[in-house]
Amino acid sequence: IFPNPVKTILTIENKSQIPIQNLEVYNTAGQMLESHSEPLNTVDFSDFAVGIYFLKINTVDGKSLTQKIVKY
């Protein structure tokens, strides 16, 4: 996941090749701001305010990864 910190576009490099089921973006209060169910390798952060966010990646095999993202 790069670049982090991000200004506009965040890129997700899927080295494991396990298909991504969906992506979710949360703020620090735990509110979901966006959810994408189609396969994506980028997330547009340009409309978000400067701050800290969490990107949750869910794969088709039921696993998930949450990464802290800094927006500047």
Q: In what order do the strands lie in the sheet with 51-59?
A: 32-36, 20-27, 51-59, 64-71
Q: Given this model, what pLDDT does residue 50 score? A: 98
Question: pLDDT digits over 6-64, tens only?
Answer: 999 999 998 888 899 999 999 999 999 999 998 788 999 999 999 999 999 999 999 99
Q: Given this model, what pLDDT does residue 59 score? A: 93
pTM for the model: 0.93
Amino acid code (one letter) for 36? H
Q: Given this model, what pLDDT does residue 5 score? A: 98
